Structure 1
């Protein structure tokens, strides 16, 4: 028997390969899905079933691609909005055999209307579930968000509460296998641990401590979540069926001249924030490779072309993997050589960094024409904020930049400076010249004001 977790970095997406008796099933495959075929074949298994827990919002499903590669059946929950054209609809109580294993379907709406969980049974010990694939209903330390149906906010929160009771009824012994881990945009309170059981979550998950359904609903309705524009693209592709990723996930190598003349809609510097601030090519925005999955979808739209600027080949390769998984992969090429270009006299732009003492002085003097702009999320700001600062979430600058005055002086801040660099880079790419970054940001502020 085999049960293997396949983690997708950046998205913190978790998918699974389950096998027994020469057969295998995949739960929630990602778009670049050759890995499942390779792992199954290495174990002498044939993939016969592909189970989707729900229509994902944060990545492109690889189910239709994997089905074409293997001939496997795709199973998906009932979707009242629009049928999932590439999948068979399954319902509560349906059962599927994978060798000695049995996978039983649980309808668990709330996060999405089509959401399913899959209980895993060993037929040699059939009384209790061995495990449950919980999708985005139940995480380690958190539960799924319920903000995708704003007109039905209380209803879907109540549906999630009922779905969680159904999962809990499987018994404390069942190991839980969620579709995401810590760092995912699908939940803010997930534990860094990626292993747990129904029993452990029942005792320790804060969201499962609500015994009153109405109290749970009130809590979920009051939560704050952000929905980047690319979610709509993911939803559409995951109903229609996305296309296979590029056969070679590696951008073409650009010279500096090719980079300048490529006509890309976005020049994206994927180097570390400090490297970008120290010197970058004019017109380039900052999107560090480790933050592409979280923020690319705020600034890049379907079909827009990209050119990447990196420190090395490894950064380019990793960036392409992240972009492919969210279908923002119209990458014209990649350039490595900012440092050598600067050494040859190529014009560079810099983004100044200021420290806590300078921020304090500007606030104290009520500096005219200057704003300390906090780009953290609303929950962070509600916890602690610097008096006199203003707030625009970093993602919302994709549109809100038009409301800002390009003649004004803005200092960008976040928790540490990383998101502030993304914000500063975006504003710079839109023609803002009088900007700087609070180095260390809230972390530095709190350290200085203990």
Structure 2
């Protein structure tokens, strides 16, 4: 389910503990939180699929009375309004946000009493958005932690450019000031409980590797926002920003409009004829299997976006928004998981789905393409002409790349098909996940591809390939 309990208090009696349950969504790099005192609970930044939260509340025997949003999210469709309506909770959204639904507006300095023990105090922390709020959790007036949303992350901050380049510098300066305000107003022992920063593209800079928790004191010692002067930090933050998923532009408006609960009922069954017609119409028929299984046999014209990676992020980034979607998977459970991922970013309606294997999905013979390693690439390039296509982001390529490789970041690929060499194309990324998506897209357009299913950082130079830095 993607959650784990964290009991936090300075008191020794286990019955007197405050419980904070992070609910993780790894494919989007986010966390939501369920917080309770054993009886009364509140939720921070819930994802669209609220059944996970309701199950947790039932498990712990608690009643959700309040739901808080740190900001109008850019990377997912919120479940906050639907959850509040489902359980009859107060829905707290910044008073400064222009939304199309009734909410309990909350502003800087406002304290919401959740129970006799628990209270939540809002602190204005603009930077990720202009109206961003963080929420300080207090247990009988003792500060436990701060739900920092897209403000202060583990070793980084939320990115300041999602509202457009005209606002980026102003928001970066707000972000710097917000981090320092949290550090000044909260004790070093206060836990930092962000929503973003666990692989999310909402992060600016690199979050602390493998960190699962942090405190204000830790951040003051390790976060660049506290070790650099403002002008230096702002310049480095803005210079270091990379591309973010195209679907983000649709999330803020959806969240301001007030999304309802998703329909997770099984999609209609797609038979061979339906699948063939969908492919012919230019729809996206998405094969959810891992890249090994896909390369060994797939329906010609399908796209491989495996559930073993950032599935929703890359579907939302690469697929033209509004395109009809059909899912192909090993099992009904795999399709259901993918459907859950898609509703989190507002893709609610599927044309259909099918399970089984490629022979069940097409009347023709399944297509294939070869898989290889960097060692295989090093060997074949001495014997025949091949092209190397690096689909990592430009920043990754600039750091280090195979000499002579063509760099087309995966999110630019569909718009730059003419730039793909007319040759046998060996496609690679960092580990193989993005390369398989790219290889399937190229095969869909008739290219001759070989998937490099290997780890670039550890294997490319070791294989003897010439490695260069850009510029």
CA distance in 2, matches of 1:383, 1:25: 43
Match of 2:153 in 1: 139
CA contact (8 A) 2:32 2:43 kept: yes
Match of 2:334 in 1: 315
CA contact (8 A) 1:136 1:143 kept: yes
CA contact (8 A) 2:264 2:339 kept: no
CA distance in 1, matches of 2:335, 2:293: 16
Cα root mean square deviation, aligned: 2.6
Deviation of 1:244 after TM superposition, in Å, equals 1.7
1:231 aligned residue (230, 234, 248): 248
CA contact (8 A) 1:120 1:131 kept: yes
With 293-302 and 34-43 compared, the bigger mean Cα shift is at 34-43
2:169 aligned residue (151, 154, 165): 154
CA contact (8 A) 1:76 1:114 kept: no
CA contact (8 A) 2:38 2:61 kept: no
How has the CA–CA distance of structure 1 residues 204 and 330 changed in structure 2, closer, same or farther, with 3 Å as cutoff? same
Q: Deviations over 1:306-347 (max 9, x none)?
A: 1111122332121111111111232222222325549x9841
CA contact (8 A) 1:110 1:146 kept: yes
Match of 1:420 in 2: 435
Secondary structure at 1:275's aligned position in 2? Answer: helix
CA contact (8 A) 2:378 2:463 kept: no
Deviation of 1:247 after TM superposition, in Å, equals 4.5
> Does 2:129 correspond to 1:129?
no
Match of 1:374 in 2: 390
Deviation of 1:216 after TM superposition, in Å, equals 0.9
CA distance in 2, matches of 1:240, 1:383: 41
Match of 1:163 in 2: 178
Equivalent pairs counted in the alignment come to 439
Secondary structure at 1:267's aligned position in 2? Answer: strand
CA contact (8 A) 1:406 1:434 kept: no
Deviation of 1:86 after TM superposition, in Å, equals 4.4
5+ long unaligned stretches in structure 2: 1-17, 466-471
Match of 2:302 in 1: 284
Q: Deviations over 1:177-214 (max 9, x none)?
A: 11035222222623323212111222223x23434111
- Within 5 Å, give how 1:15-54 maps onto structure 2: 15-20=32-37, 22-54=39-71
Match of 2:469 in 1: none
How has the CA–CA distance of structure 1 residues 22 and 418 changed in structure 2, closer, same or farther, with 3 Å as cutoff? closer
Match of 1:397 in 2: 413
Which 4+ residue blocks in structure 1 deviate beyond 6 angstroms?
A: none
What TM-score does the superposition give when structure 2 sets the normalisation length?
Answer: 0.86
CA contact (8 A) 2:201 2:245 kept: no
What TM-score does the superposition give when structure 1 sets the normalisation length?
Answer: 0.89
Q: Deviations over 1:43-80 (max 9, x none)?
A: 44332221101111111101111122122222122546
Match of 1:329 in 2: 348
CA contact (8 A) 1:304 1:330 kept: no
